[in-house]
Amino acid sequence: MLATLCLVSFSFPILWAQTLISCSYKSLCQKALLSGNDIVLHCDHKAALWYFSSILGENIFLLNSWPNIKKLPGGSLQLTKPQPSQAGLFRCEDSANALIVEYEIDFQDATTLHITHKDLGQKPLQNETLNLGGEVFIFTHWEPWQDCNRCEEPGERKRLGYCYVEEPPEKPMPCWLYLRDEKVQYSRLRPEMQVERCLVPCDPGKEIKQPFFIYDIYQLGKLTNHMWLTCPLASIYR
């Protein structure tokens, strides 16, 4: 019984825990995400081939050598701790090189995340205009609030915000998909996270759908000035 339990608790939440990015058949989806947080790009074709071209615009090449990517059995592409330098075009093709789906992804640098708590009076970044040859408008595109971390008692919830640029009449786009190889050092160009209080009723349907986790205890060795603690299966996206 114990053996089965371990096996199940190990394999099931790992699949469940993936943040899946999908886009409809033969379309191009543009998206901002955060670096350092695992994602899966969906492509529903067992013999899928994935190609990549960075935002610097080099020639597209077959993805098979990055240590942090893995093609899943169904065809989707798993990226473990993607880096800002891995921003670019991810293209999924079938074996006859016909397009199935493509993603243009801006992995915004999570180490520059601007974090504010709404109920502590901390202010998110202001909208700004920036002169890059012409005037462009920089703002944060907020995702919806995520679930409250408690129910029937006071809790907190968060939302992520991505740096976007708008140059009317064009549609806004993620900052680094717009800037590409333009070297601008400007402190407004960063992703954000906002936290606020919440109080929600418990939803029994939701409670039973929670994954199960394995708890483990590690003895920390000699304390050093810098230490990195990783919470297994945690994701900033939920």
- Extract the tokens encoding 105: 């992804």
Triad 108, 110, 111: Cα angle to 5°: 125
Residue for token digits 């202001």?
126
List interacting residues with ligand NAG (CB under 6 A): 127, 139
| DSSP sequence for 43-65 | ---TT-EEEEEETT----EE---
Looking at the Cβ atoms of 123 and 209, the one nearer to ligand NAG is: 123
Looking at the Cβ atoms of 117 and 141, the one nearer to ligand NAG is: 141
In sequence order, what are the beta bridge partners of 61? 52
**Cβ 127 to ligand NAG, closest distance in Å?**
4
Looking at the Cβ atoms of 135 and 203, the one nearer to ligand NAG is: 135
* DSSP letter (8 states) at residue 110: G
**Cβ 168 to ligand NAG, closest distance in Å?**
11
Looking at the Cβ atoms of 139 and 162, the one nearer to ligand NAG is: 139
Strand-strand pairing, 61-62 and 99-108: unpaired
**Cβ 85 to ligand NAG, closest distance in Å?**
28
**Cβ 141 to ligand NAG, closest distance in Å?**
7
**Cβ 103 to ligand NAG, closest distance in Å?**
23
**Cβ 139 to ligand NAG, closest distance in Å?**
4
Looking at the Cβ atoms of 86 and 140, the one nearer to ligand NAG is: 140
CB 56 within 8 A of CB 68: no
Looking at the Cβ atoms of 139 and 178, the one nearer to ligand NAG is: 139
How far apart (Å, rounded) are the C-alpha atoms in residues 191 and 140? 7
Looking at the Cβ atoms of 68 and 127, the one nearer to ligand NAG is: 127
**Cβ 97 to ligand NAG, closest distance in Å?**
39
Burial 113-125 (b: 16+ CB within 10 A, else e): bbebeeeeeeeeb
How far apart (Å, rounded) are the C-alpha atoms in residues 41 and 19? 9
- Using a CB cutoff of 8 Å and minimum separation of 24, what contacts does 205-212 make? 207/151, 211/12, 211/13, 211/16, 211/17, 212/9, 212/12, 212/13
